[in-house]
Amino acid sequence: MEWEQLQVQVLPVSTAIVIMMNGEPYGRFGDDDDDDDHDGPGRHSSPPRDPGNLIYLALVLAGVGFLLPYNSFTIAVDYFQERYPGTTIVFDISIVYIFVAFGAVLLNNLVVELVPLNVRIIFGYVVSLLMLIFVSFFEIWWPDTFPTNLSYKITLFSVSIVALGCTVQQSSFYGYTSMLPKRYTQAVMTGESTAGLIISGNRILTKLLLDDQRTNTMIFFVISIAFVILCLITHIAVQRTTFIQFYLNLCRTSENTDDLKRITLQPSEDANLVDLCAGSAGSSYGGTVTPPSDSTATFHSAATLPVSASVDPVDSQAPSYRVEHVIMGRVRGGYMSTYTTSIRLWAAVKRGVVARWQVGRNVWQYMLSIALAYFVTLCLYPGIETEVVSCYLHSWMPVVMMAIFNLFDFIGKILASVPYDWTRRQLVGGSVARVLLVPLMMLCAAPRQSPIVPGEMTPFLLSGLLGLTNGVLGSVPMILAPTKVQDEHRELTGNIMTLSYYVGLTLGASVAYGLDSILGPPLPHPCSDKLQVSIQHSFLPKPTLGLSSVPTHILPSLLSQQLLHNITDTSG
């Protein structure tokens, strides 16, 4: 078989290299500095335009699509609390989702180079749709299909499958938008908040229009399913646009391993025994040094590759050479490789580890900031927020609390797009300061019988502040991090930031269980229990005999008589 003409720059070991193919430089070269117009190193000078911001709006819908299934379970808290009274169903849904999601994002980081991006996204949509349809019919419309204990477990199992699909989808979307200008990452994060806003409005509307809990919850889930289908169709349409394909191809050009294989040859090494490597350790992306004209060797066949490019070692003044890069040409009828599968796999592992280390070293402050932000959020939302009781709003209280959070989270995501020069220290400091919201919200829920901070206004304000700060501090690090790395690492950076995001979610959901244990066991009828405590303190005389000594069967009669007596005295 004939090989295409190859050119290899043979340079001194200490000299930067230039890759040549058919006489032309291979890959993209440019300034390492960030391009303000196109958000990153090496951005193209004249990319396609986004007509009417349609791509932006489509990515907002993408953010809606992968978070809406989870929100459908948490926002329907009133239905699940009524169906499984006296349980920690909301905490269980949250912890199951988060732990499975954490495993899924780890998996996605491992297979990011193996499974095509679009396959991962479509997989997430399909899994979410199937589970939402299953829960809608077998857990809501036909609630007696399974016994209550089994139904509880099936609900949690459905949540876990949704978590797997949605998280692979979410992590893939962040890697996907990291290859686009940074405003499109902000679009996806705005979509996440929009999902919460849509689902909260959906729940409030269905609950207002229909009194029957089962029917309004069924309609609620059907609307959610319709939105997910809309998001799937939009994604398929947008994926084919010139705008998207331009940026995907731009970031993947330097990763085209079919045309480029990199090896390092020492002067005494056999070409068949060398190991693949990611490139010379001292090379920098985009930098070129023009070598002398006599340092270029042209090869027409792999067999002509010399095992050594050294000059006479006796001459101490002569430079020592080695081959740094060899481009394996495309063979007619397929590809030719002299390396075994095990060597290729080991090289891929090494490249992956090195790339992740380099990315982590560049963006660790952003990773820490987003992890802390979502840690605090999951400590309180949705778990502790649903434990704040209102005897005025009753079952509406958790719905309103979460609607306020989602509204202000949406506002925060919008504010994150406002131009501002955020420093890494500001982001980390702001995320640390949010920890103060945890004890403040706990005062609104503990103790259960009589919270230290009663009423509805304080919890509403804290929920709004939690959502607003989550919107800003949960978005800005994700938006900025991909702009701090080279183009070929932008998708990987998006996936690593998503991993940090889920580390915070997982730790926060775990701590939420501890906070719930501080509150104590849930009250079956919290408002009636509060009324009884109030009556005891307000109307009963203060005898020397303790209340515990009054016989249980006499107490209701005693309470009613004393209450009637006080009312009569007041009216008189």
pLDDT tier at 251 (50, 70, 90 boundaries)?
confident
For residues 282 and 261, give the distance between their C-alpha atoms in angstroms, rounded to a whole number: 18
**Residue matched to tokens 């949250």:** 94
List pLDDT tens digits, range 117-136: 889 899 999 999 999 999 99
AA identity, residue 21: M
Count of beta carbons in the 10 Å neighbourhood of residue 419: 4
Judging by beta carbons within 10 Å of its beta carbon (0-12, 13-18, 19+), is residue 570 exposed, middle or buried?
Answer: exposed
> Which pTM was predicted?
0.62
Does residue 391 carry a pLDDT above 50? yes
For residues 189 and 182, give the distance between their C-alpha atoms in angstroms, rounded to a whole number: 11
For residues 397 and 454, give the distance between their C-alpha atoms in angstroms, rounded to a whole number: 13
Written as six digits, the tokens of 303 are 């067999």
Give residue 50's region: left, alpha or beta (phi > 0; psi -120 to 50): beta
At 334 the three-state DSSP class reads strand
Q: What number is the average pLDDT over the span 505-512?
A: 91
Half-sphere exposure of 116 (CA within 13 A, CB side): 5
What pLDDT does 100 receive?
92
What pLDDT does 109 receive?
75
List pLDDT tens digits, range 12-60: 443 333 333 333 333 333 333 444 444 544 444 577 888 888 999 999 9
Judging by beta carbons within 10 Å of its beta carbon (0-12, 13-18, 19+), is residue 556 exposed, middle or buried?
Answer: exposed
For residues 335 and 337, give the distance between their C-alpha atoms in angstroms, rounded to a whole number: 7
What pLDDT does 39 receive?
53
What pLDDT does 287 receive?
39
List pLDDT tens digits, range 146-172: 999 999 999 999 999 999 999 888 888
Q: What number is the average pLDDT over the span 470-482?
A: 92
